[in-house]
Amino acid sequence: MGVSLVLMVVSFVVVKAAPVAQEEPVRMNFLMAAIVGIMYYLALSPWFANLGFAVLYRPLVAGTLVGLVMGRLGEGIAIGANINVLYLGWISAGGSLPGDPGLAGYLGTALALGGGLSVDAALALAAPLGLLGSLTWWLRMSLCSIIPHWADKFAEEGDIKAVARSNYIYSQPFLFVIYAVPVALAAWLGSAAIGAALGWIAQHAIWIMSGLFAASGMLAALGIALNLKFLLRGNVWPYFFIGFLITSMMGGGVNLLVMAIIGACVAFIHVLFTEGVAGTQLAGAAEARESPGLLTRQDVFQSWLRWLFFSHACYNWERMQGLGFAHSMTPIIEKLYKTKEDISAALKRHLVFFNTQPDIGGVIHGAVIAMEEERAAGADISDDAINSVKTGLMGPMAGIGDTIQQGIVIPIALAIGMSIATGGAVGTATTGNILGPLFFLVVVAAFVWGVGWLLWWQGYLQGRTAVTNILKGGMLNRVIVGAGVLGNFIMGALVVQFVSLSTPLAFMIGGTTFQLQAVLDSFMPNLLPLLLVLLLWWLLAKKNASPTTIMVVVILVGVLGSYPLWPGINAETGEAIKVGLFG
């Protein structure tokens, strides 16, 4: 008998309960607030082998950690997943950072728990907070521009250790102060304020609570529409509707991991039919260059470790990852060059402007290490030759790396993680499953560490031709086309799972009551979420509307639209009452 694989499909029915007015808040003490602030700093710090920005910075994980600290793990996970929907398609490319998922995640979860906001309304509170992050990012990038000038002086003296320290130690007090301190204070002082405001709302204007809930559901639609702006194009758009319809037919209760596997199979078939059979040439098949043998695998690995941890430790406007690059080269320089002049020249050579995607871009470092080794062995390799490899390749590798890491791996792993965390109901789950954030962590760590080292090492073995060898054979294009199919398919499923929008409106016509929602459902279940997502996509993609403006409008429409002004029916007693547009 073969192995039988049993996939557990969690099925459930989304019950639209009236949103809970106010949860029992967690009393936010100073210690908790301080830990929340420190965690936000850590997410932007270099201490987690490149998993800070890729993993800890994401609201799903932020919510989990804040929930753990505040003794509400389940709620924290659910809140994190709720907030993360808005940032599913969030991409920071080339040091530009629109909005701040980490700030929305850490501070948003802390304030929601500390103020007693119900889980499903947290996004409406966190979304505006995310906008403030641009300020601290600006400050960070500007402040850290000072440090490379100190490093220049240390390089002049040939002081390898001091150049390394400038990157990973001297930069950190700046970051700690601008990240940890404001967030800790905001979490500490803000919780009470939010709690008081919610208390007043619960007493005097309970409809605002429904409004925040409706706004959160609509913001989830914005999160998906932002993704669709990138995905819903070309000849792969039907997969969005297929994903939506399958999930909708199954009542929303599909395991997204199963959906992702179906989507991957469909993507494979699509690529096979449109791009033909895969070429036989695989990455790494090319022959290695002649190495002079001055460096060991251990030296190359030590260099990679420094990059893995500290590539963005002192990220700044002036040289971006320049200091990080020099730091990563310190073990190589130490091994290859012995005189003060040679060491100083090598340090200065690598302290210049550099910026690429840290995982995929590692192939450049590998190639540069190979050139340094050959140069130290006496080959005629000029500073210009080394520089042109760096400056020529950093852009293209960033383009590919951002597309794959931020555009494919992170969003898809996040979507699945968020679905696992909330049993497929991001908008309405009140407690979360730790397996969701863990799934996300494992997938991203495997990519960042596995692919990162693989490319670094191939770069060293093959030299700069590693880049063309890896890109040849069309493998990259197949991955990108396939990811477009999978992405559309998943987004379709997410419309059902993540966007919660319904209306309590009802009409009396000739003595018969028509509940609008029931009428809509008889046409097609989840019609409102689908129409809202498509409307927002149209505004973003075709009308070039700004996401920030849409966010503000959506919150206002959600909250104000929930004012009980319209005719409805009390479901229990059948009497006519006033209701808001959404509920």
Partner 1 sequence: MNAIEELGLVRIDDRLIHGQVIAVWCKHQRFTRIVVVDDGVAADSFMQEVLSLAAPPDLQVDVLSIEEGINSLGESAPDRGTTMVLLKSPLAAKRLYDGGLKYSALNVGGIGSGPGRKHIFKNISASEEEIAILRYLMDKGVEITLLTVPGERSKAFSDLAGKS
Q: Which is nearer to partner 1, 389 or 581 (CB)?
A: 389
Q: Which is nearer to partner 1, 165 or 348 (CB)?
A: 348
Three-state SS at 68: helix
Judged by CB under 8 A, the stretch of 152-160, 217-225, 226-234, 427-435 that binds partner 1 is: 226-234
Q: How many alpha carbons fall within 13 Å on the CB side of residue 177?
A: 9
Instruction: Give the one residue of 118, 167, 355, 422 binding partner 1; rule: CB under 8 A.
Output: 355
The answer to the question of residue 472 lying near partner 1 (CB under 8 A) is: yes
In angstroms, rounded to a whole number, what is the distance separating the alpha carbons of residues 528 and 307? 47
Instruction: Give the one residue of 74, 95, 253, 525 binding partner 1; rule: CB under 8 A.
Output: 95
Q: How far is the CB of 511 from partner 1 (least distance, A)?
A: 53
Token digits of residue 324: 């990080």
Q: How far is the CB of 450 from partner 1 (least distance, A)?
A: 21
Q: Which is nearer to partner 1, 236 or 254 (CB)?
A: 236
Token digits of residue 369: 């290490």
Q: Which is nearer to partner 1, 251 or 473 (CB)?
A: 473
Q: Please give the full DSSP string across 194-252, using - where no structure is assigned.
A: HHHHHHHHHHH-THHHHHHHHHHHHHHHHHHHHHHHHHS-GGGTHHHHHHHHHHHHTTT
Burial code (b: 16+ CB inside 10 Å, e: under 16) for 151-187 equals: bbebbeebbbebbbbbbbebbbebbbebbbebbbebb
The answer to the question of residue 145 lying near partner 1 (CB under 8 A) is: yes
The answer to the question of residue 357 lying near partner 1 (CB under 8 A) is: yes
DSSP state of 506: E
| Residues in region 227-266 near partner 1 by CB under 8 A | 229-230, 234
Q: How many alpha carbons fall within 13 Å on the CB side of residue 435?
A: 8
Instruction: Give the one residue of 122, 147, 266, 400 binding partner 1; rule: CB under 8 A.
Output: 400
Judged by CB under 8 A, the stretch of 151-159, 400-408, 489-497, 564-572 that binds partner 1 is: 400-408
In angstroms, rounded to a whole number, what is the distance separating the alpha carbons of residues 356 and 315? 12
Q: How far is the CB of 93 from partner 1 (least distance, A)?
A: 4
The answer to the question of residue 538 lying near partner 1 (CB under 8 A) is: no
Three-state SS at 413: helix
Judged by CB under 8 A, the stretch of 237-245, 316-324, 367-375, 506-514 that binds partner 1 is: 316-324
In angstroms, rounded to a whole number, what is the distance separating the alpha carbons of residues 362 and 334? 20
Three-state SS at 508: strand
Q: Which is nearer to partner 1, 290 or 384 (CB)?
A: 384
* Number of residues located near partner 1, criterion CB under 8 A: 49
Instruction: Give the one residue of 91, 262, 283, 434 binding partner 1; rule: CB under 8 A.
Output: 91
Judged by CB under 8 A, the stretch of 123-131, 211-219, 350-358, 517-525 that binds partner 1 is: 350-358
In angstroms, rounded to a whole number, what is the distance separating the alpha carbons of residues 90 and 130? 12
Q: Which is nearer to partner 1, 463 or 561 (CB)?
A: 463
The answer to the question of residue 392 lying near partner 1 (CB under 8 A) is: yes
Q: How far is the CB of 138 from partner 1 (least distance, A)?
A: 9
Burial code (b: 16+ CB inside 10 Å, e: under 16) for 562-578 equals: bbeebebbeeeeeeeee
The answer to the question of residue 96 lying near partner 1 (CB under 8 A) is: yes
Q: Which is nearer to partner 1, 255 or 406 (CB)?
A: 406
Q: Which is nearer to partner 1, 468 or 513 (CB)?
A: 468
Judged by CB under 8 A, the stretch of 23-31, 91-99, 424-432, 502-510 that binds partner 1 is: 91-99
With contact defined as beta carbons under 8 Å apart, do 337 and 346 qualify?
yes
Contact characters 432-471, partner 1, x per CB under 8 A: --------------------------------xx-xx--x
Instruction: Give the one residue of 352, 516, 520, 577 binding partner 1; rule: CB under 8 A.
Output: 352
In angstroms, rounded to a whole number, what is the distance separating the alpha carbons of residues 441 and 449? 12
Residue 382 sits at φ, ψ, to 5 deg, of -85, 165
With contact defined as beta carbons under 8 Å apart, do 323 and 167 qualify?
yes
Burial code (b: 16+ CB inside 10 Å, e: under 16) for 20-36 equals: bebbebbebeeebbbbb
The answer to the question of residue 268 lying near partner 1 (CB under 8 A) is: no
The answer to the question of residue 399 lying near partner 1 (CB under 8 A) is: yes
The answer to the question of residue 396 lying near partner 1 (CB under 8 A) is: yes
With contact defined as beta carbons under 8 Å apart, do 165 and 88 qualify?
no
Q: How far is the CB of 89 from partner 1 (least distance, A)?
A: 10
With contact defined as beta carbons under 8 Å apart, do 500 and 427 qualify?
yes
Q: How far is the CB of 396 from partner 1 (least distance, A)?
A: 3
Residue 320 sits at φ, ψ, to 5 deg, of 50, -115
The answer to the question of residue 283 lying near partner 1 (CB under 8 A) is: no
Q: Which is nearer to partner 1, 298 or 388 (CB)?
A: 388
Q: Which is nearer to partner 1, 180 or 397 (CB)?
A: 397
Judged by CB under 8 A, the stretch of 17-25, 68-76, 93-101, 519-527 that binds partner 1 is: 93-101
In angstroms, rounded to a whole number, what is the distance separating the alpha carbons of residues 114 and 109? 8
List C-alpha distances in Å: 340 to 196, 322, 324, 346, 536. Answer: 64, 21, 21, 10, 60
Note the residues at the interface with partner 1 (CB under 8 A).
91, 93-96, 98, 134, 141, 145, 229-230, 234, 317-320, 352-353, 355-357, 391-403, 406-407, 464-465, 467-468, 471-472, 476-477, 480-481, 544, 546-547
